Amino acid sequence: MMTCRELTELLLEFVAGELSQEQIQQIKDHLDDCPPCVAILQTYRLTVQLTRQLPCHALPPPCEQRLRAALAEQWKQQLSGNA
Amino acid sequence: MLGVARSLGDGFPRTWHPRIVTDMDRQGTHIEQPGAANPAQAGPPPTIEEVFRDHAPRIYNLALRMLGNEADAEDVTQEVLLQLVRKLDTFRGESAFPTWLHRITVNAALAYRRKRASREQHHVHDPLDTLFEEGKHAAPVRNWWIQPDKAAVDKETQRLIEQAIAGLPEIYRDVYVLADVEGLANSEIADMLGLSVPAVKSRLHRARLLMRSALAPHFEEVPA
């Protein structure tokens, strides 16, 4: 019988669908009798699901202003260097 | 005069010129060839404004999540944007752009971290050793959840996730950000960080376990 640690070590491959049928069955058998491992699996999946929804935040305005100025300066130098 | 100047104000790029590869190669990592690019069908390079609008937030977000500091993220973003501007004449599209952008941002962030000598020197504990004793759960496992009507992550949840990411040890954080925030494949991450794919998977797995534990206290327990 697979231990809780052994099951947890296989979670990444399990959620990615990379395990053999035999390994999947061993995990399912363990989960049938182990609520803590079910909890780890569910929250492991949820963690990934929530993280994947993180948005791309807008630049803070002062940062945007400084970056634009730096880009403009670089562009000016490039133009004068190539003139 | 470079082609870039002539092309300012033109449309958005549709392909990506292979010439950019030589600059990436100096990092000593494998470079994907932009196979879909076809110079014969190439569009014009982007304008400065397009570069800024389309890429600055993505670069900044990645750098911020890797470095955990706004000032450092701004420095890295500036460095990457300046690299982009210097190479504007080589821009012909977007086929390989995400990979290239990720690579130069990751390289810049790692170089910045090295320069600051901020890499954590202390031993990073394996979360699996904390979770288990003799193969069994060392403590009760909290089964938390988020209500389905909150499936679209609200601002507070975003803050909690960002905070948990910032709390990850660097060796786990880099892989986690690239895999679960940026959505890169393990093989791409391995190339970027100079790791084997099994090492990426091992770090990603441990990062997820740490994230899971960090988020647990902030969410409701699954109703019995």
Q: Residue B94: its pLDDT value, please?
A: 55
Number of domains in chain A: 1
Mean pLDDT of B80-98: 74
The pLDDT of residue A43 is above 50: yes
The pLDDT of residue A56 is above 70: yes
> Which residues span the domain enclosing A49?
4-82
Contact at CB, A43 and B85, closer than 8 angstroms = no
SS3 state at B8: coil
**Model pTM score:** 0.79
Residue with the bigger pLDDT between B199 and B151: it is B199
From residue B84, alpha-carbon distances to B34, B59, B201 in Å are: 17, 11, 31
Tell me if chain B has a CB within 8 Å of the CB of A1. Answer: no
DSSP A81: H
The pLDDT of residue A45 is above 60: yes
Q: Which residues of A touch B183 (CB under 8 A)?
A: 52
Mean pLDDT of A49-74: 92
List alpha helices for B19-169, DSSP H. Answer: 21-25, 48-67, 70-86, 97-115, 127-131, 155-166
- Which residues 4-33 of chain A have a CB within 8 Å of chain B? 4-6, 8-9, 11-13
Indicate the residue of A39, A79, A82 with minimum beta-carbon distance to B141. A39
CA angle centred on B197, ends B194 and B202, rounded to 5°: 105
CA angle centred on B204, ends A1 and B136, rounded to 5°: 30
B3-115 CATH = 1.10.1740.10
Query: Domain map of chain B by residue range?
Result: 3-115, 127-221
Mean pLDDT of B129-142: 86
ipTM above 0.90, yes or no: yes
Mean pLDDT of B17-21: 28
Tokens of B97: 């752009």
Q: Residue B224: its pLDDT value, please?
A: 63
Q: Residue A83: its pLDDT value, please?
A: 63
Could you please state the CATH topology (level 3) that the domain comprising B127-221 is classified under: Arc Repressor Mutant, subunit A (1.10.10)
Best B50, B62, B130, B137 residue to mutate vs chain A (most A CBs within 10 Å): B137
A10-41 confidence digits (pLDDT tens): 999 999 999 999 999 999 999 999 999 999 99
B172-220 confidence digits (pLDDT tens): 999 999 999 999 999 999 999 999 999 999 999 999 999 999 999 988 8
Indicate the residue of A39, A67, A82 with minimum beta-carbon distance to B81. A67
